[in-house]
Amino acid sequence: MIRTALRYHRPSTAAEVSELLLQHDGDVAVLGGGTQLLPQMNRDQVHVSNLVDLRGLGLREIVATDDELTLEALVTYSDVLLSRDVADAAPHVQRVSRGVTGGKQLRNTGTLAGSACFAMPGSDMPAALVGLQAQYRLHGPRGARMVKASDFYTAAFATTLGPGEFVEAIVIPRGTGSTGYCKVKHSSGSWPIATATATISETEARVTLGSVQAIPLQIDVTDLIGSNETRRIDDAVLRERITAAVTDPWTDVLAPGSYRARVAGTVAARAFTELEGSLA
């Protein structure tokens, strides 16, 4: 059981959420899906006396416009897998959500924004969202602000969220090009060792690695796009570029950094191979 004398708060406006977060700063957590937070509290690894549940705000909408796709904070993996708007505007989000560990029960519970905020190095969503050039809409004591996913992560389990701030929604731009994905994990019930989101558009090509370093790592490979019609990127050259870019690999109980650094190039190459399949 959770050992702290926990108090549960269920505000109904974003302003009240920020007020509660500020009032209990340092002794409070936001409850999204709860799939990471609650086990950690149950194991006495996280000790906060206050939980602020976002359910009173709704925040379960998926909204698609001509320019972007908005996923509110309590949208679950199952929600995006059932959404035609997501399939149309950001199929990569479905691709990644389908592979989330824990089965349908966890996909019905865990939220994309929760994973984005948890900033766990060995997880799928932060790097996928960075790769899609997503932005996060934050609400704080001074109102709303937008932060690029690529600027959001500062270290393992650390973000730029300030006192009183929380993520209200994830905003993904449309038309950022084609995407490919590859994930290496060592059993179906485990966490990723390395992930790669490959993106290619008319003007640029990029790889975003997840789980390989403490925070998502973006690598520009635009100059490697082949000059012929297929625009194919040479595997060997790509691997070399990726390997050189991984300078501070992440070590945890699942894999040492040296292993992650070794597989990163192959994972990136496979993400591009998948992408070529979708272009054909």
Is residue 18 helix, strand or coil? helix
Select from 99-107, 116-124, 148-156, 228-236 the region that touches another protein (CB under 8 A).
Answer: 99-107
Q: In whole angstroms, how close is the CB of 143 to another protein at the nearest point?
A: 27
The answer to whether 155 contacts another protein (rule: CB under 8 A) is no
Q: Which residues contact 208 (CB under 8 A, 6 or more apart)?
A: 127, 128, 130, 131, 196, 197, 199, 216, 217, 218, 219
The answer to whether 108 contacts another protein (rule: CB under 8 A) is yes
Q: Where are the alpha helices (DSSP H) in the chain?
A: 14-23, 37-42, 77-81, 84-89, 91-98, 103-107, 112-118, 125-131, 149-152, 235-245, 257-279
Nearer to another protein, 42 or 230 (CB): 42
The answer to whether 23 contacts another protein (rule: CB under 8 A) is no
Q: What residues from 183 to 202 belong to the interface with another protein (CB under 8 A)?
A: 188-189
Distance of CA 180 to the CA centre of its chain: 15
Q: Which residues contact 163 (CB under 8 A, 6 or more apart)?
A: 21, 22, 25, 140, 141
The answer to whether 13 contacts another protein (rule: CB under 8 A) is no
Is residue 274 helix, strand or coil? helix
The answer to whether 39 contacts another protein (rule: CB under 8 A) is yes
Select from 36-44, 126-134, 167-175, 234-242 the region that touches another protein (CB under 8 A).
Answer: 36-44
The answer to whether 51 contacts another protein (rule: CB under 8 A) is yes
**Binding-site ranges for another protein (CB under 8 A):** 1-2, 4-8, 10, 31, 33-35, 38-39, 41-43, 51, 53, 55, 78, 82-84, 87, 102-106, 108-109, 188-189
